[in-house]
Chains A and B, each alone.
Chain A
Amino acid sequence: MSITEILLFMVSCILTNNFIFSRFLGCCPFLGVSSKVETSVSMGLAVTFVMTIASLFCWLIYNLLLIPLNLTYMSTISFILVIAALVQFVEMFLKKSSPTLYSALGIYLPLITTNCAVLGVATLNMNNAYGLLQSVLNGTFSALGFLLAIVLMAGVRERLESSKIPACMKGFPITLVSAGLMAVAFMGFQGLV
């Protein structure tokens, strides 16, 4: 891939095909962990970390094991296995080698095991028949899109905290409305790439 292609790919992953606002993947942490900007940044970084590594390993498993053995229909279950094991491993590795990063990511790291965005990126890589580099880049850039979305959302929710909202709209209703409006705004990026 040339530099131009990589940049275009980045714009497409982060803005045009944003995981949350146009693919609707990973909505659970998007709504659950977006009440404060600080924690949302931690969550976004943890997702970026795991999605990059998961893309790499899922590509390897898929192309080196499943395709030669003609077992491509087993992809979902083996991806889940890979992701779960990987997150466990990364958690133990970080705890030992980088306690600072470990405490910064905190509880969010194990939570990512059940994040459908991670499985989604692996499945998308497979369906689009991406190469190794493109798969890893797709993982990183899509996760950066997730980071952008969750941080923007946290900013909006912090403002909502101190706004006067009708009682029936307080809490989740207004959050879902804001998320919907943000998704509409992100539709404006369609056709950019």
Chain B
Amino acid sequence: MTILYAGILLGALGIIFGAVLTFASKKFHVEVDERVAQVRECLGGANCGACGYPGCDGFAAAVVAGEAPINGCAPAGEKGAKAIGKIMGQEAVVGEKLVCRVLCQGAAGIAKDRYEYDGYQSCATAAGLAGGPKDCRFACLGLGDCMDKCAFGAISMENGLCKVDPDKCTACGACVKACPRGVLKLLPVSAKVIVRCRNSDTARVARAVCMDACIGCGRCKKECQYEAITVENGFAHIDPDKCTRCGACAAVCPCKCITVD
């Protein structure tokens, strides 16, 4: 007899809870815009957080709510933005594709080491120890914080220097935030001629710490016929709008710190 009671009790509890939950799911039903799922499909899907929202779901919800721009997802790129624009009934306005560039050539043997670092393998930790293991205070530390943060496998470490694969890079900017030295910068993909040094020390100091440091001599500036180059803070800057990718500057640079892709 008792076993009957037990069965009835559990059955009754189960049915009551089931009924309450069914009722609750109707009563507390939250309308989810079907466009959220559609927009979510068009995104990069790496939850890189470059858009400023917590993950791709958060960004998709913000787009549908009209809070985020439809081209806010860098990894989705132009194609993704157009697809989202179709869902949202808006015209996608997309700027030029950006790509991450490494503004340092101080690989092992080129930039001088100040001390031998064998601590925790992280640039942020190393940078905090007496200003980092390299003599140049602008140099890539080569311990791969950017590589760890890259959700797309675009960064590799070669000879103590990070290297970005422009085809895989989606310009999400996670590496730029992760780098304690600010060595990485997002530049338009068409800016092929790049000054790969940001050492703003005087020529003597810069030259002493790295063989490939920009010493701010200004030869590139003189050589450039389009006035695209300026020398500020001790190193050269190239204006990508004026630059015609002729490569004359790279040819005369005595430090080989201007490269043409």
Complex formed: what's the CA distance from A190 to B29 in Å? 48
Complex formed: what's the CA distance from A135 to B6 in Å? 24
Residue numbers in A under 8 Å from B25 (CB-CB): 92
Evaluate contact between A93 and B28: CB separation under 8 angstroms.
yes
| Range class of the B interface residue count | 20 to 34
Evaluate contact between B9 and A88: CB separation under 8 angstroms.
no
B17 nearest CB across to chain A (Å): 4
* A/B pair count, beta carbons within 8 Å: 50
Complex formed: what's the CA distance from A81 to B30 in Å? 25
Within 8 A of B (CB), among A46-77: 61, 65-66, 69-71, 74, 77
1/0 per residue, CB under 8 A from B, across A116-155: the answer is 0000000000000000000000000000000000000000
Given A61-B13, A96-B27, 12 other A-B contacts at CB below 8 A? A69-B5, A77-B10, A78-B9, A78-B13, A81-B10, A82-B13, A89-B21, A92-B21, A93-B24, A95-B28, A96-B29, A162-B125
Assuming A71-B5, A81-B14, is B28 touching A162 (CB within 8 A)? no
Within 8 A of B (CB), among A78-122: 78, 81-82, 85, 88-89, 92-93, 95-97
Evaluate contact between B21 and A74: CB separation under 8 angstroms.
no
Evaluate contact between A95 and B6: CB separation under 8 angstroms.
no
Complex formed: what's the CA distance from A65 to B16 in Å? 14
Complex formed: what's the CA distance from A93 to B23 in Å? 11
Residue numbers in A under 8 Å from B14 (CB-CB): 81
Assuming A92-B24, A93-B28, A95-B30, is B9 touching A162 (CB within 8 A)? no
Residue numbers in B under 8 Å from A164 (CB-CB): 119-120
Complex formed: what's the CA distance from A65 to B9 in Å? 9
Of all A-B residue pairs in the complex, the 5 with the closest CB atoms, nearest first, are A96-B28, A85-B17, A92-B28, A92-B24, A164-B120
Q: Is A163 an interface residue (CB 8 A)?
A: yes
Complex formed: what's the CA distance from A97 to B29 in Å? 10
Evaluate contact between A162 and B122: CB separation under 8 angstroms.
yes
B133 nearest CB across to chain A (Å): 15
Assuming A65-B9, A96-B28, is B20 touching A85 (CB within 8 A)? yes
**Chain A minimum-CB-distance residue to B121:** A164
A119 nearest CB across to chain B (Å): 16
Residue numbers in A under 8 Å from B21 (CB-CB): 85, 88-89, 92
Complex formed: what's the CA distance from A66 to B6 in Å? 9
Residue numbers in B under 8 Å from A74 (CB-CB): 6, 9-10
Interface pairs (29), CB distance under 8 Å: A61-B13, A65-B9, A69-B5, A70-B5, A71-B2, A74-B6, A74-B10, A77-B10, A78-B9, A78-B10, A81-B14, A81-B17, A85-B17, A85-B20, A88-B21, A89-B20, A89-B24, A92-B21, A92-B24, A93-B28, A95-B28, A96-B29, A97-B28, A162-B120, A162-B122, A162-B125, A163-B120, A164-B119, A164-B120
Evaluate contact between B119 and A96: CB separation under 8 angstroms.
no
Complex formed: what's the CA distance from A89 to B18 in Å? 10
Evaluate contact between B9 and A71: CB separation under 8 angstroms.
yes
Residue numbers in A under 8 Å from B24 (CB-CB): 89, 92-93
Residue numbers in A under 8 Å from B2 (CB-CB): 70-71
